[in-house]
Amino acid sequence: MLKGKQLIFIDFEFSMPERSRTPKHFYPEIIEAGIVVVQNNEVMEKFSSYVKPTAFPKLTTRCKKFLSIKQEQVDQGISFTNLIQYFAEMNQHGKNKVVTWGNMDMKVLRDNCKKQGIEFPLVGEFIDLSMEYKKFFGDQNQTGLWKAVQEYGRDGVGNHHKALDDALTTYHIYKLVEKDKKYLEKATPPTIGERIDLSKLFNQLA
């Protein structure tokens, strides 16, 4: 990969306890990672992998049902250490701008690193696109990822709650929001004559 400014779109899926009870010391672990790397408006790399949980290796029924995921899939996934190594290597390819939908992905990544005594691997600017979206459209509440893309009259990529599909959907919304921002920046502000009817004003003053 060439060196330069790169956008990294990340989505994780996490383990979750049963609704009825939460085991002592339970915390969400990353069990699936989806990553899209973009340079100069071109997708340079896509990464998708299941990740083996270590603290609570057995997935709950709720988790498997909600994410449509099987125990065998995470059992055959990469280790969390391998995922961190992958992220660390990304830092060598240029200046990172990390984009996620919501703040949970980075929170859980930081927490998982802390629990395992591993240094947080990502360096750069961190963007919560859901907050950008909320501010841009003046929404009172944060909008879900797939609801946001549907509000643009588009469909999400693939299946919701599949990490790579959600990362790609985040990238698509990012492009749409950036396009709208540029459109507003280029819009010429109205002159005073366009804002008010000057002929009526002159008649009143006569």
Point out the catalytic residue in the list 13, 29, 93, 172: 13
pTM for this entry: 0.82
Domain ranges across the chain: 6-205
Point out the catalytic residue in the list 89, 151, 161, 185: 161
Q: What is the Cα gyration radius of the chain?
A: 22
Concerning whether 151 is annotated as a catalytic residue, the answer is no
Amino acid 76 reads Q
Distance CA 130, CA 142 (A): 6
Distance CA 167, CA 35 (A): 6
Average pLDDT over residues 22-50: 95
Concerning whether 13 is annotated as a catalytic residue, the answer is yes
Beta bridge partners of 49: 33
- Per-residue pLDDT tens digits for 43-92: 999 999 999 999 999 999 999 999 999 999 999 999 999 999 999 998 88
CATH T-level fold of 6-205: Nucleotidyltransferase; domain 5 (3.30.420)
- Selection from 60-69, 92-101, 133-142 with the highest mean pLDDT: 60-69
